[in-house]
Amino acid sequence: MNQEEKLQRMKELSAILLQASRAYYQESREMMSNFEYDKLYDELLKLEDETDIVLAGSPSQKVGYESLSELPKEAHESPMLSLDKTKDVEALQEWLGSQKGLLSWKMDGLTIVLTYEGGSLVKAVTRGNGEIGEVITNNARVFANVPLRIAYQGQLILRGEAVIRYSDFNRINEEIGDADARYKNPRNLCSGSVRQLNNEITAQRNVHFQAFSLVRADGVDFANSRQKQFEWLKSQGFDVVDYQETDRETLPEAVRQFAEKIQSYDIPSDGLVLLMDDIAYGESLGRTAKFPRNSIAFKWADEIRETKICEVEWSASRTGLINPVAIFEPVELEGTTVSRASVHNISIMEALKLGEGDTITVYKANMIIPQIAENLTRSGTIRIPDHCPVCGGQTQIRQVGEVRSLYCTNPDCQAKKIKSFALFVSRDALNIDGMSEATLEKFIAAGFIHEFADIFHLDRHEESIITMEGFGQKSYDNLVAAVKTASQTTLPRMIYGLGIPGIGTANARMLCREFHSDFDRLRHAQQEELVLVDGIGQVLADAWVSYFSLEKNNEQVDRLLAELTIEQEEESQTAAVFAGMTFVITGSVEHFANRKELQAAIEVRGGKATGSVTSKTTYLINNDVTSNSSKNKKAKELGVPIISEKDFLAMLEE
């Protein structure tokens, strides 16, 4: 590669990495795995070193994310640098040399700077872009473990990581019925929780603070030791990151011990940090433009093994999506035997050019999830199936954006049937506690459930259910009790649970409001009546009429109604100030607990909340009104006003 080609490749890599970084830090989504990102990043660093050129805006010169919220901004006294990193234990040993070091977790949350004066917490600021952070003092006051007062009366400045533990992350996600609305990982949830404008929401998330660096504590003698600083912080009531004292000889064993713990460690971590214990020596080393020289990060080296593909299995999901799964000769990875890895979609499969008998390399993303790193053979001989592996129905390739995926077109596919029942028992529908998709799959396969009404007659199969794997008398009794509780419901919940295409919770409530909860009138309504309802266009009206035109559906609904007690809801007395208006909500919310709460505030006032910006959208609600997100761009193209939550709240007060 000549100099010109290297420069062109550097520009390509910068664009890809910046886009991936923006997606991860600002939009709470992932475009690529850590393995892929690190591989491209290392390639960029190598090219910059070879050319001795660093382009403006290079990811190698950026630190952290740019602040986007309306929180007050504040410059740090000194830049908060990121850490140089390595995946090689021997490189760690060389870096430490003859010094004593402290090896600790590199936590995966949001870095915070706390300031105490006179024994009281007076300020908390996020790391932000390394030079300017956001002031989140009110939120830090409601962290689960931050001391509000300490014994030390001088000025104390310390740094640490705000984290949400896996146990809390799983608990929060379990409370969200809609799988698509669940948080992707603890770091994204933590970032949104810490940067809230409403600290009541922060308090609900059980955010913890783990101190990892003392910046200032005048008048305290730490005997020139970082370890003494950690011990002193503990004495002041702070939780300090778990660490282990080490030297060049004991370092490999210390790394191994941390690696053993990561699978069960409750605090998210993406590596380790090695810090020189000698304060004066470490500070005498100075810093580069981007990294301090007294500490270094260790990222888990992906253990990569070579193996051969036996076949590609096609796994049908409950949405009709059919995912390719690579089955390969078993290999040992991170202490366990693995023999399969999801390929996710056809686009990835085609990019890897997979074929039976191909030699591939595999690794575990974050030491947990098996992934294919590279295909060394690239035969590309895998055939995309014409028929669904579950029902035998015709398949179809669909493209959404740049991603090609395979779908089953049979509406009666068993996999889709499970999804239909899963919607019916979900939180926003009948809300049957304990009726998971796995349980539904067992009951459907056993022939206990054929239609919705069958769920209310599980008592007919008591003996069979209590002998099923994972069940017993207590589990059965709890499930039957949950079904009985769910039999008292509301008409909008029941309608939503039927799964009529396009009829979501908002449309179900709107239909019930306009037809005064008269279900008999509703089911016999024609297109011309339905399209008069705000938010119900021709497509939804056709879907409704089509559903109730089938005698089979009406008979099933009648049998379902016989099992239910429909509660009569009082019609809302709130003024319908948003009647005829359609809102789209995007991005994180700050004044409401979540998007559903904001959606409810719209609907109770006669408005409608939808998922896509169209010419019929009245307002797009996005706290980042200037972003270049796809929805913002669409709104600007169509002339749809983009408003913040504050603007929306002002509309309520008018």
Q: Is 528 helix (H, G, I), strand (E, B) or coil?
A: helix
Cβ-based neighbours of 166, under 8 Å, separated by 6 or more: 186, 266, 267, 268
Q: What is the 3-state secondary structure (H, E, C) of 21-50?
A: HHHHHHCCCCCCCHHHHHHHHHHHHHHHHH
For the record, the structure tokens of 148 come out as 């509000």
How far is residue 176's CA from residue 205's CA, in Å, rounded to a whole number? 13
How far is residue 259's CA from residue 430's CA, in Å, rounded to a whole number? 44
Would you call 234 a catalytic residue per the annotation? Answer: no
9-14 LR contacts (CB < 8 Å, sep 24+): 9/43, 9/47, 10/44, 10/47, 10/48, 10/51, 10/53, 10/55, 10/58, 11/55, 13/40, 13/41, 13/43, 13/44, 13/47, 14/44, 14/55, 14/57, 14/58, 14/59
Q: Give the strand pairing for 608-610 and 582-585.
A: parallel
Query: For residues 389 and 411, is the Cβ–Cβ distance under 8 A?
Result: no
Looking at 89-207, which runs of residues are DSSP E strands? 101-107, 110-117, 120-126, 132-134, 156-163
How far is residue 301's CA from residue 270's CA, in Å, rounded to a whole number? 11
The rounded radius of gyration (Å) of the Cα atoms in the chain is 28
Neighbours of 421 (CB within 10 A): 25
How far is residue 75's CA from residue 85's CA, in Å, rounded to a whole number? 26
From 639, 642, 600, 637, select the one nearest 623 (Cα to Cα).
Answer: 642
Q: Is 522 helix (H, G, I), strand (E, B) or coil?
A: helix
How far is residue 149's CA from residue 145's CA, in Å, rounded to a whole number? 12
For residues 320-343, one letter each, b for 16 or more C-beta atoms within 10 angstroms of the residue's C-beta and e for the rest, the string is bebbbebebeebebbeeebeebbb
For residues 17-41, one letter each, b for 16 or more C-beta atoms within 10 angstroms of the residue's C-beta and e for the rest, the string is beebbbebbbbbeeebbbbebeebb
Cβ-based neighbours of 447, under 8 Å, separated by 6 or more: none
Q: Is 252 helix (H, G, I), strand (E, B) or coil?
A: helix
From 640, 582, 583, 572, select the one nearest 605 (Cα to Cα).
Answer: 572
Determine the residue type at 346: I
Q: Is 331 helix (H, G, I), strand (E, B) or coil?
A: strand
Query: For residues 585 and 598, is the Cβ–Cβ distance under 8 A?
Result: yes
11, 39, 106, 290: which one is catalytic? Answer: 106
Catalytic residues: 106
